[in-house]
């Protein structure tokens, strides 16, 4: 089968138009489903490994009628074959996973173009991290994109730093590790100047800085309007820190209230990120429980770990995402992350402990078997 090159450009234009409407303009289910089915047909026709997987699972564009039924690729499949709708060597960028679950083996997300990725990250970040203030000084506790060009997180942080960070916004995690003294100086300057600051980084980079502050009896009272965006899990190589414990430590050490702490959930295998609702809701005078917001160009299902069938709201299962910004790879992604659906989005509980969920393991086996010619 062959997908016309014009299909890609036409679909990209439609998705960019949807993203351009912003995060507060939902697309009705009928229109979202129609666009999803067109993207599925394109990916089925132009992504050989994905097509083989779909056929082994007994699905094709004629049998699938709704986005919920589009075959989802397990994240582990990105470690096995190039899942691309174009020659992989023509990728503008290849993002790779850390390889921590399988040392030495990395998942690879081949990006035909960064246009959709960049378009989707901006309105989402603004709506949930900076809904009330731009630009803002940014102190980033993660490697720069220059230092780690294969990291989708570093790319995302560099894009928002360039667009929304005040001059002087800087990275405090590099080849030499965390710049404790440099970050301390930046926080003291912000505190003295009364200028709100935005701290962004991985949860365990923050844990290490909090340890430093405890060891040196350092605390800060950052100006009103300061905020924190953290990402990644709360389990590091050395220990696990409960989310509630960490957020209390943020508040005690930085003086940032918990309603100004936003967690970002993203994946190398996806172009879209999901953010906590808490800051945007607080600024709008709403008191809804903290949860991840799904932007209009994505959908999230919670499925049973064994059967991979959708679960009702409130039931804990594994997360499945459908991301239209993944036009040039695979839009339907089956994760091994636990969570549950709530009104307006979902919440993440972390990675499934111990063995992979049975349904996800079977999906991986099915995917690999489909690649045998």
Q: Which domain holds residue 201?
A: 116-293
Q: Distances in Å between the alpha carbon of 208 and those of 183, 238, 257, 318?
A: 12, 11, 20, 29
pTM of the full structure: 0.92
- Rounded Cα–Cα distance for residues 341 and 74 (Å): 20
Q: Is the pLDDT of residue 364 over 80?
A: no
pLDDT bin (cut points 50, 70, 90) of residue 5 is: low
Assign residue 189 the CATH number of its domain: 3.40.50
Chosen domain end from 276, 293, 310: 293
In degrees rounded to 5, what are phi and psi of residue 299?
-145, 150
pLDDT tens-digit map of 269-318: 999 999 999 999 999 999 888 999 999 999 999 999 989 999 999 999 99
* The pLDDT of residue 129: 98
The full DSSP string for 5-51 is HHHHHHHHHHHHHHHHT-TTSPPPHHHHHHHHHHHHHHHHHH-HHHH
For the chain, the maximum distance between any two Cα atoms, rounded to a whole number of angstroms, is 66
Tell which wins on pLDDT, 92 or 371. Answer: 92
Q: What is the pLDDT of residue 366?
A: 59
How much is the pLDDT for 238? 58
7 found inside a domain: no
Six-digit token string for 37: 């089915």
pLDDT at 151: 92
What CATH number has the domain bearing residue 55? 2.30.38.10
Tokens of 357: 């969920």
Rg of the chain over Cα atoms, rounded to whole angstroms, equals: 21
Q: Is the pLDDT of residue 365 over 90?
A: no
Q: Is 122 helix (H, G, I), strand (E, B) or coil?
A: helix
* Mean pLDDT value of segment 144-153: 93
Q: 179 and 259 share a domain?
A: yes
Distance CA 84, CA 112 (A): 8
How far is C-alpha 69 from the chain's CA centre? 22
Residues 222 and 239 in one domain: yes
Q: What is the pLDDT of residue 32?
A: 96
pLDDT at 133: 80
């Amino acid at each position: 089968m062959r997908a016309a090159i014009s299909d890609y450009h036409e679909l990209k234009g439609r998705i960019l138009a949807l993203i351009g409407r912003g995060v507060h303009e939902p697309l009705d289910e009928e229109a979202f489903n129609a666009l999803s089915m067109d993207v599925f047909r394109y990916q089925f026709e132009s992504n050989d490994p994905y097509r083989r997987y779909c056929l082994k699972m007994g699905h094709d564009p004629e049998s699938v009628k709704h986005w919920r039924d589009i075959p989802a690729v397990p994240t582990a499949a990105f470690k096995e074959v190039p899942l691309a709708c174009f020659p992989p060597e023509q990728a503008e960028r290849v993002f790779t996973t850390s390889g921590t679950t399988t040392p030495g083996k990395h998942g690879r997300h081949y990006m035909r173009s960064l246009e959709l990725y960049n378009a989707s990250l901006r309105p989402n970040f603004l709506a949930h991290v900076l809904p009330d203030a731009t630009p803002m000084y940014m102190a980033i506790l993660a490697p720069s994109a220059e230092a780690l060009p294969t990291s989708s997180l570093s790319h995302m942080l560099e894009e928002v730093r360039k667009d929304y960070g005040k001059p002087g916004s800087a990275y405090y995690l590099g080849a030499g590790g965390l710049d404790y003294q440099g970050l301390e100086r930046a926080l003291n300057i912000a505190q003295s100047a009364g200028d709100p600051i935005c701290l962004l980084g991985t949860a365990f980079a923050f844990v290490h800085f909090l340890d430093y502050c405890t060891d040196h009896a350092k605390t800060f009272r950052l100006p009103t309007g300061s905020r924190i965006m953290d990402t990644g899990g709360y389990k590091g190589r050395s220990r696990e820190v409960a989310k509630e414990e960490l957020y209390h430590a943020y508040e005690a050490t930085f003086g940032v209230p918990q309603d100004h702490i936003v967690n970002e959930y993203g994946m190398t295998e996806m172009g879209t990120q999901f953010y906590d609702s808490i800051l945007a809701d607080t600024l709008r005078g709403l008191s809804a429980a903290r949860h991840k917001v799904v932007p209009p160009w994505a959908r999230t299902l919670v499925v049973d770990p064994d059967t991979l069938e959708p679960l009702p709201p409130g039931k804990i299962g594994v997360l499945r995402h459908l991301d239209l910004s993944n036009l040039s790879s695979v839009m339907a992604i089956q994760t091994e992350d636990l969570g549950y659906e709530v009104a307006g989005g979902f919440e993440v509980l972390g990675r499934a402990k111990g063995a992979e969920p049975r349904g996800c393991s079977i999906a991986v086996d099915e995917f690999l078997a489909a690649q045998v010619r």
